[in-house]
Amino acid sequence: MVFIPCYRCAPQVVRVLEQFDAEMQALVDTVVVVDNRSPDDTLDVAIEKGRQVLRQCNYIAWRNVDNYGLGGSHKAAFRYAIENGFDHLIVLHGDDQADIRDLREGLKAKAYENVDCYMGARFMPGSQLKGYSWFRTFGNHVYNLLFSVPVLKRVYDLGSGLNMYKLEQFEEFYYKNFPDDLTFNYMMLMGSYNRKQSVKFFPITWREEDQVSNVRLFRQATRVLSLLAGYFFGRARFLQTEMRAKPFDDYRGDIQYQHEASKVEV
């Protein structure tokens, strides 16, 4: 199952859905657009585009029941995928910074088979950055190194917009208390290393064109440092603490549209 988190990215999600050429659609089973209650027409645009272009795979578009943030959207997608018997979950950001086609060779070669977390990386040999500022690139390298210390493994990205997870490892909802905001990925990665899951990075392309980043850089940078310190000193105990500003009992979406492969009415 491919999960596409979206928040106010109508112009970009159209291009994301266009990334799914016939071969890509055949390589996946179901594409799920998860709209985190965007105030604009992101969901409508995604429904219309998906209806047109995703003919060879199943397609679902839902609106989160509440405003769960990016991390909470992940939780909703993981739970849905597990409840519906999927074996792998691919995360592809809805703002068209990453490209699903960077997974094509990996999917064909089943490179994910003996890996729990197959992570797209923007900062490793073979990665390509287009329009990404030197300042953010530098900052990312520093943070990757800092997070490499407690896990004793080389971290090439703390959370890009293209990742693949083996769901068997995520059936237990141990990540429920992880942050619901954009720092979710950092804790998810620390959690994976802490649980001795196998993590493998692969190089991706990443572009910054008309995307509006919702990351408030310095606020997030300090928040992330405090999470790192928490993990460094607390390890498993820290990972069990409540990291959400506003905890939810469950994470669900209201399906607004769905169709099955090649049963599209036009």
Ligand X SMILES: Nc1nc2c(ncn2[C@@H]2O[C@H](COP(=O)(O)OP(=O)(O)O)[C@@H](O)[C@H]2O)c(=O)[nH]1
Site residues (CB under 6 A) for ligand X? 5-7, 9, 36, 69-70, 73, 93-95, 97, 182, 211, 213-215
Distance CA 58, CA 264 (A): 10
Which residue is closest to ligand X by CB? 214
> Under DSSP, is residue 227 helix (H, G, I), strand (E, B) or coil?
helix
Q: Count CB-CB contacts under 10 A for residue 174.
A: 15
Distance CA 33, CA 248 (A): 21
User: Is 138 or 233 the residue whose CB approaches ligand X more closely?
Assistant: 138
Q: Report the DSSP pairing between strands 205-207 and 162-166.
A: unpaired
Strand-pairing partners, residue 235, are none
Partner from Mg ion, ligand X, none contacting 155, C-beta within 5 to 8 A by type? none
Least distance between ligand X and beta carbon 260 (Å): 25
- Asked if 78 and 91 touch (Cβ cutoff 8 Å), the reply is no
Which 8-state DSSP code applies to residue 87?
S
Site for Mg ion in 76-105 (CB under 5 A): 95, 97
Rounded to an integer, what is the distance from CA 191 to the centroid of its chain? Answer: 15
Residue among 42 and 97 whose Cβ is closer to Mg ion: 97
Least distance in Å: CB of 159 to ligand X? 7
Site string for Mg ion, 38-77 (x = CB under 5 A): ----------------------------------------
Q: What phi, psi does 57 have (nearest 5°)?
A: -145, 165
Distance CA 243, CA 224 (A): 12
Q: Provide, rounded to whole angstroms, the least separation between the CB of residue 255 and ligand X.
A: 17
The least CB distance from residue 12 to Mg ion, in Å, is 9
CA distance 203 to 100: 12
Binding-site partner at residue 56 among Mg ion, ligand X, none, CB < 5 to 8 Å by type: none
Q: Which of Mg ion, ligand X, none is residue 7 near (CB under 5 to 8 Å by kind)?
A: ligand X
Minimum distance of Mg ion from residue 10's CB (angstroms): 14
Residue 9: which of ligand X, Mg ion, none does it interact with, CB under 5 to 8 A by kind?
ligand X
**Which of 210, 228, 166, 216 shows the shortest CA–CA distance to 13?**
210
Cβ 185 to Mg ion shortest distance, Å:
12
Which residues bind to Mg ion, rule: CB under 5 A? 95, 97
